[in-house]
A and B are shown apart, each in its own frame.
Chain A
Amino acid sequence: MDELSTIQQLLTEPLPGPEVVEAARLKLEHVALGGTPERTRIARGWHAPGLIRRATGPRRRPGQAAAPRHWPGWLAPVAAAAAMVGVVVASLAISGVLLRPASPGGANPTGVFAKVPRFFVGLPPARGRAIVAATATGAVLGTVAPPKHTVFIWTAAAGDDRTFVFAAGHSAFDGGPIRFYRLVLSPSGHPGPLVRLPIPAQKASISGLAVSPDGSKFAVSFLGPGAGRVGSNIKVYSLATGAGREWVLPAKGLIGQISIGVGGTGRMSWEADSRTLLFEEELNVKGGGWTFQLRLLDTATSGGSVQAASTPVPISGAVLGAHPVHPNLPFRIPGIPLITGDGTKLVTPTFRNEPPPKVFDFMITELSVRTGKPVQVLYRVRTGYEANSTGVYWVNNTGTAMIAVRPPPGQSPNVPRTVFGVQTAQGQFTPLPPKTQRLITRQLGGQQVMSRLPAW
């Protein structure tokens, strides 16, 4: 060993963690787009599965066949979505809460749409109002303005289909202060006033938000303030009193997902008992690197260590996270799965690369919480287009119905297009009506982009 290798050993640092990479990418994106800080919020999980820009290049040589391209899906869709939403939101801009006639949004849905929440909130990617709309019809039932001088950062729905919690702040990444609000819809789905919850403003960046099925409390995960995100935590607050409990990760790491490009499944979810919370943690490994783990937090405990109050779901960290799939692994889970209300299953998009190189096998898969093993593949498509990837946004108590994103039935795998729809455990898929699709996604310049983040 000479002095050069000794120096190398002396100064060796671990590779940067994902949150550092994320922050750097957002800075670069900000420079590249000349965008506002709020804009960067889109990048943190705003790209719906499949709803990403298709390639326009590279330039082909004469005679060279066009090959499918797999885009990282950032920058361009962000710009497109932000620009588009500006127009839409401006067209809706009326002060306060804007109400629309009750019908047809208030009508009771039938068929498969009766199995999913009637209403959803669509969060704008930049400054502007959230919309409240009917799932089965796409009728906009009202809009909700963020509190003055703030933007909406996160939102999540309770199991009653009428209660939503919003987080709002000056920007998603300035570390707060972030305040929380409750929105309750009328039985016909019309939004009531946005009410500030009695919770002190939080000075941290949010990495996840989930409202309990009974609507009595919500869980929010925060990035730790220190180097390596030491101190990342989950807090659970009562909506009625604002009383909270806190569980802290006693190591370097983060809870939730802030990675660019992860689909709409990047959040925590509750079991129907409104006590058990599924979350994902990403821990720094001694010697460098990071590892993922899915865990179930018992929120009836009095707080303290996240690790002590939670139990792991037996799924290998090797298959978690949106990194390229290893050829020897059966699949990868790129987002955070959703847990069914009965606590028995996880539903999640999965994928693997298939030969020839870069042909994707996209699936929607049910896994057993007890064993971590796949129980059933609900959908599978083999395609050359990353834009055909899958996602799950909501699931019912037993896993028999979910709101998912996938290519519509009958579509050729050579067409890079996905839609939101109701997926059943029997393999049936019914796309949401075009009017609902248009509230969430948009065709812009021949590309499908996400225009609002939906929460059911």
Chain B
Amino acid sequence: MIVTGEATGPPATDAAVIEQSWAEPEQFEAIFRRYFAPVHRYLAARVGSRIADDLAAEVFTAAFAQRQRYDLARDCARPWLYGIATNLAGTYRRQEQRRYRALARAHAQGVAPSDEDLVAERVAAAAVGPALAVALARLNSGDRDVLLLVAVAGLDNQEVAQSLGIPYGTVCSRLSRARTRLRDSLGGTNPADSYGPSDIVTPAGGRKEQPHG
């Protein structure tokens, strides 16, 4: 029996754990334990849970292989891991686009895509989901990476800059552009404030009445 208790005393920083894993590879499990679930969730949001199962595992095997190159000046490994995750998600760009379109269709047609059985509930919760999903699919990949690292992964702008290896200013401009384009595609206003529950924008741009019940 193994008890998954935490270590005695304050937890070591990610950098300390990674440094230790250079000589003792098993130490890397601490990084896995800390971040696997959120990284998986981020990837699932982008490419769907089925692909995310493999991709999230790949993030940590890649990180393990690259751990000797980790910048120990950075205490927190979160941006590093999300950077790897974002790069890997980029190899599934087509699937990602398909997912967003499927999200949009799910509500517009009142059915969930076959492999996304939670989609319908989520889209119903977010009345503007279909339009937003379509807009998301139309963003260029650089802008979308920044937007999703902020919106889904919860990184701040500085962490996004570290994740993607781009200047802080670039993050700000990409984020601003992405938000603007989302708003533009939805009519130039904050989407959640613009549409009531009975007034939903379909992917085709028309409006449909929300089904009752």
Contacts and interface: CB of A to CB of B under 8 A. Distances in A.
Contacts of B5: 70, 324, 353, 358, 360, 386
Contacts of B33: 72
A7 B2 contact: no
A28 interface: yes
A87 interface: no
B111 interface: no
A320 B183 CA distance: 47
A253 interface: no
Given A6-B192, A28-B61, A23 B53 contact: yes
B64 A6 contact: no
Interface in A313-337: 322-324, 334-335
B1 A67 contact: no
Contacts of B193: 1
Interface in B184-204: 186, 190-193
Contacts of A24: 32, 36, 40, 53, 56-57, 60
Contact of A27 (B7, B25, B44, B61): B61
Given A13-B52, A15-B37, A28-B32, A3 B190 contact: yes
B29 interface: yes
A68 B52 CA distance: 37
B64 A32 contact: yes
Interface in A207-254: 227-228
A27 B57 contact: yes
A420 B6 CA distance: 26
Contact of B2 (A2, A56, A260, A353): A260
Contacts of A68: 8
Interface stretch (A44-52, A160-168, A339-347): A44-52
Interface stretch (A73-81, A97-105, A300-308): A73-81
Given A15-B37, A16-B41, A349 B53 contact: no
B81 interface: no
Given A6-B191, A13-B52, A24-B56, A73 B2 contact: yes
B192 A3 contact: yes
A71 B4 CA distance: 8
Nearest to B182: A3
Interface in A2-22: 2-16, 20-21
B76 interface: no
Contact of B1 (A20, A21, A391): A391
A90 interface: no
User: Among B26, B56, B182, B193, which residue has the most Cβ atoms of chain A within 10 A?
Assistant: B26
B20 to A, nearest CB: 6
Contacts of A76: 26
B60 A9 contact: no
A122 interface: no
B152 interface: yes
B213 interface: no
Given A20-B53, A24-B36, A9 B2 contact: no
Contacts of B2: 47, 52, 71-74, 260-263, 322, 334, 386, 389
For the residues of B in contact with A, the DSSP-based class is helix
Interface residues of B, number: 62
B132 A7 contact: yes
Nearest to A14: B118
Contact of A324 (B4, B57, B61): B4
A324 B6 contact: yes
Nearest to B9: A67
B20 A4 contact: no
Contacts of B94: none
Which among A57, A72, A334 has the greatest number of chain B C-beta atoms within 10 A? A72
A351 interface: yes
B61 A31 contact: yes
Nearest to A55: B7
A166 B45 CA distance: 41
Query: Which among A10, A14, A260 has the greatest number of chain B C-beta atoms within 10 A?
Result: A10
A323 B1 contact: no
Nearest to B20: A58
Contacts of A58: 12, 16, 20
B71 interface: no
20 contacts: A1-B193, A2-B190, A4-B151, A10-B132, A12-B41, A13-B41, A13-B52, A15-B41, A31-B65, A47-B2, A67-B8, A72-B2, A72-B26, A75-B29, A227-B50, A322-B3, A324-B6, A351-B3, A353-B5, A389-B1
Interface of A: 1-16, 20-21, 23-25, 27-28, 31-33, 47-50, 52, 56-59, 67-76, 227-228, 260-263, 265, 322-324, 334-335, 349, 351, 353, 357-358, 360, 386, 389-391
Interface of B: 1-9, 12, 16, 20, 24-26, 28-29, 32-33, 36-37, 40-41, 44-46, 49-50, 52-53, 56-58, 60-61, 64-65, 103, 115, 118, 122-123, 125-126, 128-129, 132-133, 136, 147-148, 150-152, 179, 182-183, 186, 190-193
